[in-house]
Amino acid sequence: MRPRPSAIPRAGRLFSTAPRVQFSQSFLRLQKAPKEEKSKDEDSKPKSEDKPEKEEEDPETRRYKEEEKKFREELRQKQESSRKQKGRDASLFSKEGLSLVLICTLFTIPLTFYATVSQSNKRDELSFQAFKTRYLEKGLVKKLTVVNRFAVEAELVPGAFSDETSRDMNGNPFVVFTIGSVEVFEEEMNATQDKLGIPIQERLPVSYIERGSWLNMIMPILPTVLLIGGLWYISVRKAPQGGAGGAGGIFKIGKSKAKLFNQETDVKIKFKDVAGCEESKEEIMEFVKFLQDPVKYEKLGAKIPRGAILSGPQVQATAGEAGVPFLSVSGSEFVEMFVGVGASRVRDLFKTAREMAPSIIFVDEIDAIGRERGNGRVAGNDERENTLNQLLVEMDGFEASDHVVVLAGTNRVDILDKALLRPGRFDRHVTIDTPDIEGRKAIFKVHLNKLTLKCVEDIRASQSDVDFNKYQQLIDEATDNLAGRLAALTPGFAGADIANCCNEGALIAAREDDTAVDVHHFESAIERVIAGLEKKSRVLTPDEKKTVAYHEAGHAICGWFLEYADPLVKVSIIPRGQGALGYAQYLPKDQYLVSEEQFKHRMIMALGGRVSEELHFESVTSGASDDFKKITQMAQSMVLQLGMSDKIGSIYFDTGNEQGGFKVHNTYSEKTAKLIDEEVKRFIDEAYDACKKLLTEKIELVDKVAEEVFKKEVLTREDMIRLVGPRPFPERNDAFDKYIKGNEVYKGRDQDNNPSEAGGEATA
């Protein structure tokens, strides 16, 4: 019994989190269309008119055209040179870098081999005990030299060669052994010579020296030093190309990851394919026209805004009709663990855009780097702030003659840094709102044209012999009626939701092995989006099913006999979604103001399920928990934010729920908090009393509807009219009267086989 969130406008709820993918590929190709139209117009003119047009061209205009032609030629040469340079530097290392690495490798291998061989050629060192037994006691030692206080070289008498001895530079034999300390070595030598009875004046001379081998010292670190030096050399060689130590550094870490789209890229979406947001398209078109004909604006002294923030559910769709290079990048791609990488990528992005000017930069989800600075969350300097600072400098630094326009998309304009939104940076804020019914109808028509529709196929089969214009008119009318009906059933849907419904309808038709998509396929798809997937495996017991039937019947009767309630579309007790065991669907209209009576009637309608359970069963169930949550939020909004309580008055109290925020403390006193609780409870109690009074008076109709929905599981509006009679109040929804009421367009549909009448709002 989980409800769909209400379509009532709430203060602070400006942006949706729906996916944003289509308005943006329409930006890249707009330049072609005006040029083609212009060429067609010129071809249609008589040739005799060409000469007067040339005579009317003044020198100033001719000069501007020559300058523009020269600018285009220079731009083409720069782009060609840039592509060649990038081709040469595409690999990890250039030819010079590879040569340097090869030289370092060839130099390191012989040194390492020499050190290894020299170490292997050394004889095994003796222990002091072996030295004493084999050489000292036999009188073969000539003198001793202590080297670096840990090794002793014993020079032997001539001819005392063995497998353990080595030769010095003079050809004399010697052996080497290590000692723990000089003091212990001296004591051992004195004791041994005393034992041998050697006089003091004839004892072996001992000398002490400090000796070091530069080769042995540098060999362990030489390969590392050479490798670091080679990489540093490569980085320095690439430094003129920009980036963090070069074109993004050694491994292109600081290189911008923006994707390039241009007139050669296969971008099929244009502005004509984007419906439902005409005002937003007009604002974006100004940027496009400037890039198409900059001379026209510069001649008048006009300057195009440097950038625009796009916010709303469909914001990601600005990609492409301008016919100029379009660089698209996500805000999160500027964030890395390395210091300076984000700022380096911003510099590289704008450098590339200037080389390709006129061009467009589109930064999606700019709030990843554009959050407000200095909020005290992070002490000291933040890498994200460095990236933001570089973005601010780049946007305010390039001149208007560069012809670079920056667009950014976000759903969180409220958290952006104020410096981003000031003139000279993102001058404009283009809000792409959720479309109204006409906008949804236009969006549906765009998507329906790509599908095989049942109504269109029927016309083709029955009207194949009529005039083509009449034939096309019939198809357009059928598509228009279908789009209008679906638009009326989907209030609050964004463009991405509508595209999903159309695609889901086609999938359902294919799943049922139908040759075309019919209206009930779309309605099933809308129902799935609104209420969730049908849970066929969730089988209710007879008692549970009866409880759900009376619960939904209470909702339906309240909505039927309340003047300001939304039109009822459907009642169902088929389990759907994660927790909804049943629901009653209503069709709220597109409205921007909600009266106090509408709030109260919606609260009464939401309480209908619980009150119906109380009137027909000994105990109530947990099925009304979502209803209680909904009416509590309504009552709190009426008291805290909308000024509908006489005791509280016209005061706005922040609830801290906007954009997932939280309150550290209340902005009102304990006494006021108690008064607020009393007023919220009063609104809910009044709604409960009114609901109980209404259902008590209509208890027979509740029984009739509950029994019918228990048998059929789904009741449509026609079933409700048959059971309880016409609604006593006129519907306050023009879209409902035009497209839904009476079901004039689709009367012949089998309701038993296709019982789904999808609505815009579900109340469990």
Active site residues: 552
Q: Are 143 and 155 in contact (CB under 8 A)?
A: yes
Cis? peptide before 755, omega within 30° of 0 = no
Collapsed DSSP state (helix, strand, coil) of residue 405: strand
**What's the angle, vertex CA 316, arms to CA 357 and CA 326, rounded to 5?**
15
Round to whole Å and give the CA distance between 486 and 480.
Answer: 10
Residue type, 639: V
Q: Where does 587-661 show beta strands of DSSP type E?
A: none
Pair of tokens at residue 339: 């210091």
Round to whole Å and give the CA distance between 516 and 740.
Answer: 22
Round to whole Å and give the CA distance between 149 and 178.
Answer: 9
Q: Which residues pair with 259 in a beta bridge?
A: 328
Round to whole Å and give the CA distance between 176 and 174.
Answer: 7
Residue type, 47: K
- Surface-to-core class of residue 687, CB atoms within 10 Å of its CB (0-12 exposed, 13-18 middle, 19+ buried): buried
Nearest residue to 584 via CA among 600, 568, 598, 599: 568
Residue type, 652: Y
3-state secondary structure 341-368: HHHHHHHHHHHHHHHCCCEEEEEECHHH
Angle between helices 59-88 and 341-355 (to 10 degrees): 130
Round to whole Å and give the CA distance between 60 and 173.
Answer: 100
Nearest residue to 698 via CA among 597, 554, 565: 554
Round to whole Å and give the CA distance between 123 and 162.
Answer: 11
Beta strands 321-322 and 173-178 are unpaired
Could you tell me the CA-to-CA distances from 237 to 82, 108, 126, 229 in Å, in that order?
Answer: 17, 23, 53, 12
